[in-house]
Structure 1
Amino acid sequence: MTNIYLNRWFSVSYHYMNMIRDNPDGGQFKFYGTHPDTNHLSLQACDYSEQEPVLHGTEYVDYAVDFCRRHEIDIFIPRLKMLEIAKEAERFDAIGTKVMVCRDIPLLESMLDKDKFYETLEGTGVVPIPEYDVVETAQQFKDAYEALVRNGHRVCFKPTNSEGGLGFRIIDNHMNALDNLYGWVSLSIPFDQAYNTLSAVEKFPKLMVMELLEEDEFSIDCLSDSNGKLIVAVPRRKSTGRIYVLDEVPELNEIAERIAEQCKIPYVFNIQVKYNKGVPKLLEINPRMSGGLFITCLTGVNMPYLAVKTILGQPFERPKPVWGIRASYLELPIVMKDRS
């Protein structure tokens, strides 16, 4: 029996735990989870869970080490506090827990701060980077916006250290305020409204002001070995609504190969790119399993399980994705386990 611990994960980790559990080799796994919300869906796939305290820095690492020690955890797959955990990974080594995290601290820091990662890759030829500027005052925001418009771009902005789409906005000066009020909540905002809001403070948390990438968006889910050598990459194109298309795209596989060669990110990671004028440009790289990985795995590549085999040093044949898949997803009703 192998004990696996996932801390404060997204709800989709429910799928990942079950994908590891339902493996083709008959391997036996017991799953442990923690979350401040004891009703969180991620805990419903766990064999054991407990309420996670709200802690920061070394205190959080102390908690995670103690949890792993108490439950004899073999593999720890962190989401929350990845950087702090990576910095003290040897503490987990000392108790026999393997941590599925990137241990290259400068690289991990840069991936968690989007502007730093752009700086890391600029000029390397690994992947095209969108035109952007980093701002923290309203005047800088205005100057960056006007420069991008002069260069012929539509403009968007987002925080440098957000997760997913948090804080992402598109500048649209032609939107109708009344229509917007009566319609669906929009990601669009007029420049003047954004500028006036940002002008209310002397300095705000850093924003990246960028060219808006207006064509197809892809997530490339990648699996590497413990040294960061790429094993397989599967691009997932976002289509209309909840539809995703899983096709082989050699151009994107080459980008994944170059990023893996340059960065050597271990285990599972996700590259997000979006096309503009026919050029795929980098949005971000997430050094963890992505929220949509369970859709990518419909190609027959069980990345969560293969990542577990990788960290355990167990050999396997290089997987061959099945292409030409259109996929979507539905809500799954489940009866909640009693966690009281």
Structure 2
Amino acid sequence: MVINIWFNRWFSTVSHYMELIRHNPDQQEFVIYGTHPNPDTVYFKYCDVSGTEPDIEGEEYIQFCLDYCIQNQIHIFVPRKENVLISHHLDKFEEIGVKILVCPDGELMAMMDDKAAMYRSLQNEENEGNFIVTIPSYRIVNNAKEFQQAYAELSKDNMKLCIKPVIGEGASGFRIIDNNADTIPFIFSTASSQKISYETAVKILQTQEHFPDLMVLEYLDGYEYSIDCLADADGTLLTAIPRKKGNGRIREIEYNEELIEIAVKMAAQYKIPYVFNIQVKYKDGVPKLLEINPRMSGGLHISCLADINFPYYAIKLLLGHPLEALYPKFGLKVTHIEQAVILSSEESAVLV
């Protein structure tokens, strides 16, 4: 049976996941569908069927997804956009015969999407004697006065601080508080920066009486790791691949027992199925949690070089098929280069 699989609005790196699914070891045939509001989306080149989707949200978007699945006879839906909301509507997709690669626990999805809620949950577990991972020192603020108070409390021991939205993806909204950012030498010597001075941050935050919840937390200055995890439908961990972010574009697939143990404990407590990602960063030799993503991470294709086809195996588990024992290959240092992709071309040629 040929399986129709749909990816809605995703990162450009989803093109790698499409190829990994297409060239799977079982030779299972897929027809890959992809949508995005931008007609020049690069991963359209890796789809069998592609097209634009409306730039809408909420319940209206859910209805679009249901209609798209029916119209295109989709068997498997791999959502990124609105994946939390979609997890609350799985019954509607089940009624039309569509399986969705998403954690079916909508409340758990919402908690993982909210960094503060996830931190509180982990702190509660630690208070009950179930330590999973160290949490950075932090405060939650939604007005300028609270920000000033949080900064004063956390920086009193000369702790370097940063800010980021409680709900958000990747580095969106992330800033390191550095008072050198307002100096002429900094402007002249820096091409682009995620740094902002305390005074500038206060000035910006004072422009609104209230703003969406913002985390003020200790800046972690050590190496950052993404731990890509594969689990069965019950959330039993099958493998975890720590991926170290080195200098520039260097990545290392590293056997790190400390980080794998974090994945084991996280899986045991929260039972996240199929595929998820844990991001940590070191400070003073201690790995501290950045966030948990209950989906395929943006750099998952790097971890797949460990001979683990995460996207296809996750689909296989979603369909209820067992996996043989997995033996990841560690000790890899990798990088990547830019590749030009022709999005369209005119047929005519000009002779010169």
Same fold (TM over 0.5): yes
Indicate if the aligned counterparts of 2:281 and 2:289 stay in contact, CA closer than 8 A.
yes
SS of the counterpart of 1:145?
helix
Q: Which residue of 2 is the match for residue 274 of structure 1?
A: 281
Q: Which residue of 2 is the match for residue 145 of structure 1?
A: 151
SS of the counterpart of 1:196?
helix
Q: Which residue of 1 is the match for residue 166 of structure 2?
A: 160
Deviation of 1:18 (Å)? 0.4
Q: Which residue of 1 is the match for residue 263 of structure 2?
A: 256
Residue deviations 1:161-195, cap 9 Å, x none?
11100010111123462233232111111111111
User: In the TM superposition, what are the counterparts of 1:314-333 in structure 2 within 5 Å?
Assistant: 314-333=321-340
Deviation of 1:151 (Å)? 3.8
Deviation of 1:52 (Å)? 0.3
Equivalent residue for 1:296, pick from 288, 297, 303: 303
Residue deviations 1:248-277, cap 9 Å, x none?
000000000100111111111110000111
- Residues 337, 308 of structure 1: CA spacing in aligned structure 2 closer, same or farther, 3 A cutoff? farther
Determine the C-alpha separation between the residues in 1 that align with 2:230 and 2:312: 11
Q: Which residue of 1 is the match for residue 192 of structure 2?
A: 185
Counterpart code for 1:36: P
Deviation of 1:337 (Å)? 5.4
Equivalent residue for 1:170, pick from 171, 176, 185: 176
Deviation of 1:318 (Å)? 2.5
Deviation of 1:314 (Å)? 1.5
Unaligned runs of 5+ in 1: none
Determine the C-alpha separation between the residues in 1 that align with 2:338 and 2:303: 17
The TM-score with structure 1 as length reference comes to 0.97
Q: Confirm or deny that 1:129 pairs with 2:130.
A: no
Q: Which residue of 2 is the match for residue 233 of structure 1?
A: 240
Counterpart code for 1:87: H
Indicate if the aligned counterparts of 1:44 and 1:337 stay in contact, CA closer than 8 A.
no
Q: Which residue of 1 is the match for residue 82 of structure 2?
A: 81
- Pick which of 168-177 and 230-239 moved more: 168-177
Percent of aligned pairs sharing the same letter: 44
SS of the counterpart of 1:245?
strand
Indicate if the aligned counterparts of 2:181 and 2:187 stay in contact, CA closer than 8 A.
no
Counterpart code for 1:132: Y
Determine the C-alpha separation between the residues in 2 that align with 1:270 and 1:151: 32
Q: Which residue of 1 is the match for residue 350 of structure 2?
A: none
Indicate if the aligned counterparts of 2:6 and 2:78 stay in contact, CA closer than 8 A.
yes
- Pick which of 109-118 and 170-179 moved more: 170-179
SS of the counterpart of 2:226?
strand
Indicate if the aligned counterparts of 1:232 and 1:318 stay in contact, CA closer than 8 A.
no
The TM-score with structure 2 as length reference comes to 0.93
Structure 1 residue ranges (4+ consecutive) displaced by more than 4 angstroms after TM superposition: none
Determine the C-alpha separation between the residues in 2 that align with 1:188 and 1:180: 10
Query: Between Structure 1 and Structure 2, how many residues are aligned?
Result: 338
User: In the TM superposition, what are the counterparts of 1:15-54 in structure 2 within 5 Å?
Assistant: 15-54=16-55
Determine the C-alpha separation between the residues in 2 that align with 1:335 and 1:56: 30
Counterpart code for 1:83: V
Unaligned runs of 5+ in 2: 126-130, 346-352
